[in-house]
Amino acid sequence: MHQRLHPRESADDCEAPLAAGAASKRKVQGSDEAEGTGILGRVVARFGQRFTVALDAVASAAAEAAEVDAIARGRRLQVVVGDRVRCSQEHGSHVIESVVPRRNLLFRADANRTKPLAANVDQIAIVFAAQPPPQPEFAWRAMLAASAAEISAVAILNKTDLESSAALAALDELARLGARVLRLSARTDPAGAAAQLALVCRGRVTLFVGQSGMGKSTLLNLLIDARLRTGALSRRGTHGRQTTTVTRWFAYGSDGAVIDSPGFHEFGLSHLSAADLARSMPEFAAVSPSCRFTNCRHAEEPGCQVRAAVARGDIGLARYEFYRKVLALDNNSGGAHPRR
């Protein structure tokens, strides 16, 4: 099936308005925080269809937020770690009745599906190191997810006590792509690492991601009490089984939070369109407005300025191939014609 191309001069401009974030694509459930009844709280963990909700401390009650187990009212109510929710109490147990509209929603990729990962995030911290050898695509995916959700990214190079020249070059590239950068060694300078992390995380909601072995747990243990972390990441399920949560929200200071995502491999990006992608990759965004067609997917369209920039070497071939891969331009079975 051929896509109709829209020349830039055409009045028939089909370009979608810039999405306010990934969340804008999904139906937002619930009401504003000021409205509605029930006890407000924050979803801090998810175990399948069961959730842990940190109820807001009521003025007169203890300063510590009480954590309760809760289920969602109906399977259609999508509840994600980081959500602000309203709960009711039924026969002594808590039920999540509604979700306060989210500021944003990040997705993770799970086999062929994209699933919600966390909501209401201010920034993504990408942890990597020279060892084990990092895959640049991991950081690029995380950067794309951040950019598409209109949140900032922090690239953290850990293990600077190891020989890191290639990793430092990768860090520079992430800085050019818009990330704030940190260089740390959790092993040889834990106090310095803790201080730098605290500066970045204070007063904000930070989602930590990284390929395994990079030292994410070691760094998080500098921020949050290690025993608290280990205890919170697994708990007894309904039948006494140990269940492990994929994602856990930890309050950090009075108005910040750190979200840990163990066993997390890839960011789901399949909900993003070609236009979202090109907008979220700065070197693409710089030239794509000059493409001949407003709805150019930068594939085989004539007059494509992205491909021209690749040919000139202004856009790295690896980045262009990454773009095609995320859009699945090369691996569909559409026959002779690439999907456009």
Strand partners, 322: none
Q: Which is nearer to Zn ion, 105 or 304 (CB)?
A: 304
Rounded CA-CA distance 240/65 in Å is 25
CB of 195 to ligand GDP, least distance (A): 15
> Which span sits near ligand GDP by CB under 6 A: 24-32, 108-116, 163-171, 208-216?
208-216
Strand partners, 249: 259
Q: Which is nearer to ligand GDP, 116 or 134 (CB)?
A: 134
Distances from the Cα of 220 to the Cα of 72, 206, 307, angstroms: 29, 11, 41
Residue 245 in the binding site for ligand GDP (CB under 6 A): no
Residue 214 in the binding site for ligand GDP (CB under 6 A): yes
Residue 126 in the binding site for Zn ion (CB under 5 A): no
**Of the candidates 56, 67, 137, 161, which one interacts with ligand GDP according to CB under 6 A?**
161
Q: Which does 209 bind (CB under 5 to 8 A by kind): Zn ion, ligand GDP, none?
A: none
Q: Are 120 and 38 in contact (CB under 8 A)?
A: no
**Of the candidates 212, 243, 244, 332, which one interacts with ligand GDP according to CB under 6 A?**
212
Residue 159 in the binding site for Zn ion (CB under 5 A): no
CA-based radius of gyration for the chain: 22
Q: Which does 306 bind (CB under 5 to 8 A by kind): ligand GDP, Zn ion, none?
A: Zn ion
The one-letter amino acid at 164: S
Rounded CA-CA distance 130/175 in Å is 17
| Residues 267 to 326 in contact with Zn ion, rule: CB under 5 A | 291, 296, 298, 304, 306
Q: Which is nearer to ligand GDP, 7 or 231 (CB)?
A: 231
Distances from the Cα of 83 to the Cα of 41, 147, 175, angstroms: 8, 20, 30
Residue 196 in the binding site for ligand GDP (CB under 6 A): no
CB of 200 to ligand GDP, least distance (A): 17
Interaction pattern, residues 111-150, with ligand GDP; x per rule: CB under 6 A: ----------------------------------------
Rounded CA-CA distance 66/83 in Å is 16
Residue 81 in the binding site for ligand GDP (CB under 6 A): no
DSSP secondary structure string, 255-294?
TEEEEE-TT--EE--TT--HHHHHHHSHHHHTTGGGSSBT
What dihedral angle (degrees, nearest 10) is formed by the CA atoms of 329, 125, 186, 137?
10
Residue 103 in the binding site for ligand GDP (CB under 6 A): no
Q: Are 207 and 259 in contact (CB under 8 A)?
A: yes
Binding site for ligand GDP (CB under 6 A): 158-159, 161-162, 185-187, 210, 212-218
Binding site for Zn ion (CB under 5 A): 291, 296, 298, 304, 306
